[in-house]
Amino acid sequence: MNKLAILLKYQLISIFNKFKYVLLKKKKSKSISMILSFALISLAIYAFIIVYIFMFIMLFNEGGVPEGGLYIVVVAITMISLMSSITKSNSYLFRMYDYDILFPLPIDNKTIVSSKIMSLLFESIGLSIIIGVPTLIIYSLLVPLVWYA
């Protein structure tokens, strides 16, 4: 289990350092502008998602079915996670270049593959949390809490 935790840590660090590696290869002025443009585009997409979540919850709340907005968002999160996992899995599991480094090590093949699958799962869960938390906040602000006795 310790080897799995170490490999999982390595996989997650390598996922999040890819963007940093691309930035370090470029000049400093280009990297700063790239970071700012990436942050601006990410914030714009995130604001766009939050506005649509707000509109769906308001629409279903006015229609008398306040839970409908949550259902739509949960289905959307599930579909986004499923499609991103399907599109990433082939290249992520079978076409990675770190197999040449990992397979000669005294680690089972099952441990290597399970660490890759777990890091893919954590990436999908992170995406779900990023979209799900604002949904719950918006839903709790717009829909009054009803206590049933």
Lookup: tokens for 32: 């700063």
Structure tokens, 81: 């996670």
pLDDT at position 29 is 62
Percentage of the chain beyond pLDDT 70 is 82
Nearest of 78, 71, 39, 77 to residue 56 by alpha carbon: 71
pLDDT at 110 > cutoff 90: no
pLDDT in tens, 43-100: 998 899 888 888 888 888 888 887 888 888 889 888 988 888 888 888 777 776 676 6
Whether residue 19 has pLDDT greater than 60: no
pTM of the model: 0.67
Return d(Cα 65, Cα 61) in angstroms, integer: 6
Supply 51's token pair. Answer: 């506005």
The angle formed by the CA atoms of residues 106, 112 and 117, to the nearest 5 degrees, is: 170
- CA-to-CA separations, 57 to 60, 74, 116, 135, 139, in angstroms, rounded: 5, 12, 36, 9, 7
pLDDT of 44: 93
Which tokens in the block code for residue 39?
């942050």
Rounded CA separation 135/132 (Å): 5
Burial grade of 141 (CB within 10 A; 0-12, 13-18, 19 or more): exposed
CA end-to-end distance (rounded Å), the chain = 48
